[in-house]
Amino acid sequence: MKSLSIGRLSLFFILVAGVLIVSMGGYFWMEIRQATAAVRQNELVSANQEVREALVILSQRLDKTATAVAQWEETRQQLVFPEYYSVWRDSRMRDSGLISSGAGAVALYDKAGLILAKQPGPDALPPRLPGKPPLVRYIAGTTGHQLEYFIPVHADPAAQILLGYLGMRLDFLAELERAYSFRYADLSVLKVDFPSQSKIDLKNSLPNLRFEVRENPNQVLFLNLFQVTQLRLTLVVLSVLLIAAWLLKRLVVHPLRTFSSEINAMRSVENNFPHRGMLGAPLLIAELESVRRAFGDYQERLFALHQNLEQNSQDFFDQARHDALTGAFNRRAYDEDWNNLGKDRRHGSAALLLFDCDHFKAINDTYGHHVGDRVIRAIAICLQSALRAGDRLYRVGGDEFASVILDDDPLHAQVVAERCQEHLMKHDFRQYGMSEPATISIGIAQSHSGEFCLGELQKRADLAMYAAKRPSSPKIVFYSEGMGELGALVANRSISAVFDAIRDHRLIELSYQAVMRLPMQQKEYVEALTRIRLNGELIRPDAIFPIVQARKLDAEFDLSVIRAVTDDMASGRLPAWQGVSINLSAPSIVNAKVVDAMLELVRAQKALAGGRKIVVEITETALITQMEVASANIEQLRSAGALVALDDFGSGYSSLRYLASMPVDLVKFDISMVRLLEHGERRQKMILEEIVSMVISAGYELVAEGIETREQLDNIIGLGFSHAQGFYFGKPGEELDPKTAHAAPQ
Amino acid sequence: MLRWIFLLITIFSLPVWAEPIELVLPNKLTAKAEYRKAEAGKPTVLLMHGFLQTHEFPTIHRLTEGLSSAGYGVLAPTLTLGVTHRKQSKACEAIHTYTMDEGSKELATWVNWLKANKTRTIVLMGHSFGSVELLAYLSTNHDPVVRKMIGVSAAEGRIKVDDKSRDKVIRQTRALVKAGSKNLLTQPFSFCQKFRATPKAMLSYLEWTPDHIILQAGNLPISTTFIMGSRDDRLGPGWIEQLGKTKAKVSVIEGANHFMDGDFEFDLLDTVLLELKSL
């Protein structure tokens, strides 16, 4: 059975009540009409009775009047001596008071039935008796209904002596109304069926009379009053019904509908939450108010529960989108926001900033994971504080962060990136037990309105970040078009090339740069510079090592390089006497496999007669966390016959502390230091000179990188450097060219 | 005491003695009267009612009863005044064609009727203007059976104007009669403010002036007595004194009015009986 709504049900009841009231009004109206008709019928009966009685009374009065006139002695006088009959008829008779003033005419007839004197006028009595009296005639006169009444006149009371006859003519209607005070009969429209001049039985002439029933003023008044009262009552009741309907709707239907809609709304999933503020005002109906309060309480509890759920959902959502360690948004949030950014067409320009912690693996390995976590957390805090309000920081990898700056001005991205570097530099990493600060590389790619898709932007930011990772590269790098080609290689081929080279060291193509003995400028050994030959194309170190570092492939790649050097040695590409230096990264020097491979190579060369010099250049010493292991390995290498060089001394990766701690033979000044000697300020030069002097005094041999001019060479020779390398002595690869071999530049 | 005896006799003897009489007059009219037969040896009194009245007028009726009770014969006729079978007093405003002469003739007819009914002595007694009617009869009729006339509250027939104006009215009326006018006249007469009559009838009444009455009363050949009430306000001033100047006897009942009603009806009856005894 289909349920009815309270509104329709209420409307139905109101309509039923309205129809019932109107019907009752109609019923009462019909009853009143019937009662009125019954009263009317009774009035008609009463009117007939009245007229009947009036006819009897009129007949009696006529008899009485006529008898009085007939017995009046002056009447008898006129019948005997009619000399003054006209005077008597027109004056004395009228003045006598015996007949009514309305009597039309009076006439006397002699015993033969002849009138004593003819009368003028239309209402005159006939000159001769129309019949034997007593008799009554009806006359349809010009002035209305007339009656003629004739009786005999006797001299004696015993009516033995006939003197003549008396005739009277009267206005029928006037005499009726004079004879009777009619309440019901309305004789103003009296119609008489008798033919004119016909003899009638006055007492029984009712059937021949047609008249109306007088309107009963009280009844009319009552009917009017009833109609007005009924109309007013109906209007009042209908008004009350309307008010009741309004109140019902206001007090019952509306609250119930609201309840119903609220409850129904809660049935649907998308609206399954409480609508606070529903029916905020108290209801006048106690039961509904109770329901409202109960429902309100229920909704309050539901709302609280919902809030809890929402909060939990939000927490779950946040947790799902936030990195637990740093509090920054995680990779999922990054991907979602990235997709949303792609859909949002409002932003025409965007800059993607990728942050990568330099040498984070080394930090982890050196100080432990808990320090690494704190470093990551500190980096996140610094970056977040440097970003603008509203800019989100995403942790997209172990030590990689990203942020998207929606702005048309590229300077803003630059400023933000510099501020990030600044905040990070200010952070005191010593609190975590670290000896050196953590640094980051920032790659920035910008997209101007509609320039390219976001996917391309991300790739470009990756390339810029890889570029920033390169040695001697600024730590903030904007993507440039030239970077695009390299990037494409890096992106598309370099990564696979690195992995291929790890799997197959033969893909590594080593280029050797000479390291000259000073001051005689005699080539003492060559440094193996790594490149990868893939499908005929050569991938340079600045494209290789960012990938290696990013992918944490240092040890694996260094192993492949060792194998490649071994191959070059075995193949004779490196002459048997030619010493060679091999770069090992910080992770590799503590890696047993790499060290073992290196020891094997050193030992193999030592085992040969006239074995070549093997130099191990340790890069990124600052990132060596397992210093004891590293020192032990270095001692092993030295013991095996290898020389150990501390690479990049003077840069961020190598410092005096490591020099003091590391048992090395050579100290390789970073190219930046060498350039300071030439172009630096006086004080800088003095400091460097003192450092050089100090290092030499400590028993180390010094190697200068990046020597490109004679002046530079003379300068370092003057300072006491024992070795030098650079384009001044030849480009990498030329050392193996027979034409340039052993040829010192002039 | 005597009067109370009369009253009782009247009450119990009335049904026995009362006899209505109808008499067809020579003019074919029927006149009505009440007749009480006299005891043997006692006269019959012909009682004449006043102006336009009938024999049922209270004063006449009381006298009829009293005299009848006393053994006197009583004939109380009603003048027809031109109306056959008249038994009602006639209105002043009615059309009066009846003359004093016609009245005298009706009285003569009734005297003859009494004589025909073996009445040997007749006393004429009139009340108010009935006394004048009797004077009119006696002025033209001399019947030896008629032995006495008694006038009770005899009226002077005044027309409520001074003598000069009355003479003028009479002269004018007489001229109309002489001219044969039939037009009805209306004139205050006696107690009527509008007495309407033919000139001839009017004149017959008007000519009976107080002087004419005094004159006729003084010349009657029979014993005449006038019984008057001292408080009769219907009479003109000095009328009783004028009557007293005639040879007629005048008896005044102190305190009585024109109709001698109340206790004075017995005084009247006593006075009348005394007069009758004197016959």
Instruction: Judge if A471 and A509 occupy the same domain.
Output: no
Judge whether B175 lies within some domain.
no
Residue A746 pLDDT? 30
Instruction: Judge if A475 and A496 occupy the same domain.
Output: no
A37 is in which domain, residue-wise?
A: 6-214
Instruction: Judge if A376 and A425 occupy the same domain.
Output: yes
Rounded to the nearest 5°, which phi and psi values hold at B121?
Answer: -130, 130
Look at the block and give the residue holding tokens 């009262």. Answer: A229
For chain A, give the percent of residues with pLDDT over 70: 90
Judge whether B82 lies within some domain.
yes
Q: Six-digit token pair at A99?
A: 């007949």
The predicted model gives A467-480 an average pLDDT of: 80
Residue B11 pLDDT? 46
Instruction: Judge if A199 and A55 occupy the same domain.
Output: yes
Judge whether B131 lies within some domain.
yes
Look at the block and give the residue holding tokens 């009682």. Answer: B47
Instruction: Judge if A84 and A174 occupy the same domain.
Output: yes
B76 is in which domain, residue-wise?
A: 2-11+20-157+208-277
User: Is A73's CB within 8 Å of B87's CB?
Assistant: yes
Instruction: Judge if A293 and A375 occupy the same domain.
Output: no
User: Is B97's CB within 8 Å of A83's CB?
Assistant: yes
pLDDT along chain B (279 residues), means of 10: 49 56 92 94 95 94 94 96 93 94 96 94 96 95 94 83 83 95 91 92 93 91 94 89 92 94 91 92
Q: Nearest by CB to A77, from B83, B93, B198: name it.
A: B83
Residue B13 pLDDT? 45
Q: Which residues in chain A are closer than 8 Å to B97, comparing Cβ atoms?
A: 81, 83-84
Indicate if the pLDDT at residue A567 is higher than 70.
Answer: yes
Number of domains in chain A: 4
Rounded to the nearest 5°, which phi and psi values hold at A132?
Answer: -85, 120
| Contact yes or no for A446/A481 (Cβ under 8 A) | no
Judge whether A736 lies within some domain.
no
User: Is A156's CB within 8 Å of B91's CB?
Assistant: no
Judge whether B49 lies within some domain.
yes
User: Is B95's CB within 8 Å of A84's CB?
Assistant: yes
- Average pLDDT of chain A? 83
**A335-369 exposure pattern, b = at least 16 Cβ within 10 A, e = fewer:** eebbeebeeeeeeebbbbbbbbbbbbbbbbbbbee
CB proximity B200 to A under 8 Å = no
The predicted-structure confidence for A70-79, as pLDDT tens digits, reads as follows: 989 999 999 9
Q: What is Dmax (Cα atoms) for chain B?
A: 60
**Calpha distance A626→A532 (Å, rounded):** 30
The predicted model gives A583-597 an average pLDDT of: 88
A282: Cα within 13 Å, side-chain hemisphere = 5
Residue A53 pLDDT? 93
Judge whether B190 lies within some domain.
no
Judge whether A453 lies within some domain.
yes
Residue A735 pLDDT? 55
Most confident of A217-231, A668-682, A707-721, B45-59: B45-59
Q: Nearest by CB to A92, from B28, B85, B93: name it.
A: B93
Q: Nearest by CB to A87, from B29, B91, B184: name it.
A: B184
Alpha-helical regions (H) of A249-330: 254-267, 286-321
Residue B16 pLDDT? 42
Judge whether A644 lies within some domain.
yes
Q: Nearest by CB to B83, from A76, A87, A95: name it.
A: A76
Higher-confidence position of A261 and A277? A261
Q: Which residues in chain B are closer than 8 Å to A77, comparing Cβ atoms?
A: 82-84, 94-95
User: Is B86's CB within 8 Å of A73's CB?
Assistant: yes
Among A71, A72, A74, the residue to mutate for chain B (most B Cβ within 10 A): A74
CB proximity B215 to A under 8 Å = no
Instruction: Judge if A518 and A578 occupy the same domain.
Output: yes
Range 129-188 of A in CB contact (< 8 A) with B: 155-156, 161, 163
> What residues of A act catalytically?
399
Q: Which residues in chain B are closer than 8 Å to A88, comparing Cβ atoms?
A: 95
Indicate if the pLDDT at residue A312 is higher than 50.
Answer: yes
Most confident of A10-24, A139-153, B103-117: B103-117
Residue of chain B whose Cα is closest to the Cα of A157: B85
Number of domains in chain B: 1
Residue A408 pLDDT? 61
User: Is B97's CB within 8 Å of A76's CB?
Assistant: no
| A384 three-class SS | helix
Q: Which pLDDT band holds residue A562 (cuts at 50, 70, 90)?
A: very high
| Contact yes or no for B35/B79 (Cβ under 8 A) | no
Judge whether B74 lies within some domain.
yes
What CATH number has the domain bearing residue B7?
3.40.50.1820
Range 90-149 of B in CB contact (< 8 A) with A: 90-91, 93-95, 97
Rounded to the nearest 5°, which phi and psi values hold at B49?
Answer: -75, 170
CB proximity A315 to B under 8 Å = no
Range 12-31 of B in CB contact (< 8 A) with A: 28-30
Question: Which of A9-23, A138-152, A291-305, B229-243 has the weakest average pLDDT?
Answer: A291-305
Residue B10 pLDDT? 47
Instruction: Judge if A712 and A583 occupy the same domain.
Output: yes
Which residue, A199, A214, A229, sits at the end of a domain? Answer: A214
CB proximity B84 to A under 8 Å = yes
Q: Which residues in chain A are closer than 8 Å to B186, comparing Cβ atoms?
A: none
User: Is A155's CB within 8 Å of B85's CB?
Assistant: yes
The predicted-structure confidence for A527-553, as pLDDT tens digits, reads as follows: 998 888 877 778 888 778 877 877 778
Q: Six-digit token pair at B18?
A: 């009362």
Judge whether A230 lies within some domain.
no
Indicate if the pLDDT at residue A121 is higher than 90.
Answer: no
Residue A257 pLDDT? 80
Judge whether B176 lies within some domain.
no
Q: Which pLDDT band holds residue A411 (cuts at 50, 70, 90)?
A: confident
Residue A348 pLDDT? 66
Q: Which pLDDT band holds residue A231 (cuts at 50, 70, 90)?
A: confident
| Contact yes or no for A609/A556 (Cβ under 8 A) | no
Which residue, A413, A448, A479, sits at the end of a domain? Answer: A479
User: Is B184's CB within 8 Å of A77's CB?
Assistant: no
Instruction: Judge if A587 and A525 occupy the same domain.
Output: yes
Instruction: Judge if A205 and A273 occupy the same domain.
Output: no
Residue B242 pLDDT? 92
Judge whether A484 lies within some domain.
no
**What is the least distance, in Å, from the CA of A79 to any CA of chain B?**
9
The predicted-structure confidence for B69-125, as pLDDT tens digits, reads as follows: 999 999 999 999 999 999 999 999 999 999 999 999 999 999 999 999 999 999 999
Nearest residue to A366 via CA among A433, A278, A421, A422: A433
Length of chain B: 279
What CATH number has the domain bearing residue A119?
3.30.450.20
3-state SS track over A404-431? EECCCCHHHHHHHHHHHHHHHHHCCHHH
Cα distances from B159 to residues A74, B132, B236, in angstroms, run 24, 14, 10
Residue B14 pLDDT? 46
Judge whether A325 lies within some domain.
no
Residue A483 pLDDT? 72
**What is the least distance, in Å, from the CA of B92 to any CA of chain A?**
11
What CATH number has the domain bearing residue A688?
3.20.20.450
Q: Which residues in chain A are closer than 8 Å to B30, comparing Cβ atoms?
A: 155-156, 161
Residue of chain A whose Cα is closest to the Cα of B89: A73
User: Is B30's CB within 8 Å of A92's CB?
Assistant: no
Instruction: Kindly give the pairing relationship between strand A614-618 and strand A579-584.
Output: parallel
| Contact yes or no for A107/A130 (Cβ under 8 A) | no
The predicted-structure confidence for A348-360, as pLDDT tens digits, reads as follows: 678 888 998 887 8
Residue A94 pLDDT? 84
Instruction: Judge if A351 and A380 occupy the same domain.
Output: yes
CB proximity list for B98: less than 8 A, separation 6 or greater: B79, B80, B81, B82, B201
Nearest residue to A72 via CA among A56, A59, A86, A88: A88
Residue A484 pLDDT? 58
CB proximity A635 to B under 8 Å = no
Q: Six-digit token pair at B239?
A: 């009328």
Residue A459 pLDDT? 79
pTM: 0.51
Residue A743 pLDDT? 36
What CATH number has the domain bearing residue A355?
3.30.70.270
**Calpha distance A548→A495 (Å, rounded):** 8
Look at the block and give the residue holding tokens 């701690």. Answer: A661
